[in-house]
Amino acid sequence: MKFNYQARDKKGETQTGIIEASSRDAAAQLLSRHDLYVTLLDEERSAPAYSRRLAFFDRVAVRDIMLFSRQLSIMFQSRVSLVEALQVLGSQMKNASFKEKIFEISESVEGGTAFSAAIEKYPSLFSSFYVNMVKSGEASGTLSGVLDYLADHLEREYYLSNKIKGALMYPAFIVFIAVAVLFLMMYFVIPNLSKVLESTGTELPAITKAVLWLAGFTKAWGWLLFLLSGIGAFFVYKYSKTKEGKRFFSILYLKIPSLNQFLQMIYISRFAENLSTLIGGGLPIVQCLDITANIIGNDVYKDIIEEAMEGVKRGSRISQVLQKYPSQFPPVFTQMVFVGEKSGTLDKSLMSVVRFYQKEVEGAVEKLLSVLEPALIVVLGLLVGGMMAAVMLPLYNMASF
pLDDT given at position 388: 76
- The phi-psi region of residue 201 (left if phi > 0; otherwise alpha if psi is between -120 and 50; otherwise beta) is left
Q: Are the CB atoms for 322 and 331 separated by under 8 Å?
A: no
Q: Is 259 in contact with 164 (CB distance < 8 Å)?
A: no
Q: Please answer whether residues 67 and 147 qualify as being in contact, where contact means their C-beta atoms are separated by less than 8 angstroms.
A: no
Q: Strand, coil or helix: what is 120?
A: coil
Tell me the longest C-alpha to C-alpha distance in the chain. Answer: 99
Cα dist from 300 to 6, 273, 275, 328, whole Å: 55, 18, 17, 9
pLDDT confidence of residue 303: 93
- Residue 271 and residue 252: Cα distance in Å, rounded? 20
Degrees, nearest 5: CA angle 139-145-148: 130
- Please provide the distance, in angstroms rounded to a whole number, between the alpha carbons at the two ends of the chain: 86
The SS3 assignment for 39 reads: strand
How far apart (Å, rounded) are the C-alpha atoms in residues 333 and 273? 13
Supply the pLDDT for residue 51: 42
CA-CA distance, 25 to 19, in Å (whole number)? 12
Q: How far apart are CA 86 and CA 261, in angstroms?
A: 42
DSSP string for 44-88: PPPPPGGGSPPGGGGPPPHHHHHHHHHHHHHHHHTT--HHHHHHH
Find all residues with CB under 8 Å of 39, minimum gap 6, and list them.
Answer: 6, 7, 8, 14
The pLDDT value recorded for residue 135 is: 86
Residue 81 to residues 107, 122, 132, 171: CA-CA distances in angstroms? 13, 22, 21, 49
| Cα pseudo-dihedral 13, 19, 23, 25, rounded to 10 | -20
Per-residue pLDDT of the chain (401 residues; tens, 9 = 90+): 677 777 777 777 777 777 766 677 777 777 777 777 777 777 766 544 444 444 445 578 888 888 888 888 888 888 888 888 888 888 888 888 888 888 888 888 888 889 999 999 888 888 888 888 888 888 878 888 888 888 888 888 788 778 777 777 877 887 888 788 888 878 787 777 777 776 766 677 777 788 888 888 878 887 888 899 899 999 999 998 898 998 998 999 888 887 788 888 888 988 988 888 888 878 889 988 998 898 888 999 999 999 999 999 998 899 999 999 998 999 989 999 999 998 888 888 888 888 888 788 777 777 777 777 788 888 878 887 877 777 777 777 666 55
Report the alpha-carbon angle 387-393-397, nearest 5.
170
Residue 4: Cβ-neighbour burial (10 angstroms; 0-12, 13-18, 19+): middle
Q: What backbone torsions phi and psi does residue 19 show, to the nearest 5 degrees?
A: -130, 145
Beta pairing, strands 14-20 & 37-43:
unpaired
pLDDT at 325: 92
pLDDT value at residue 92:
84
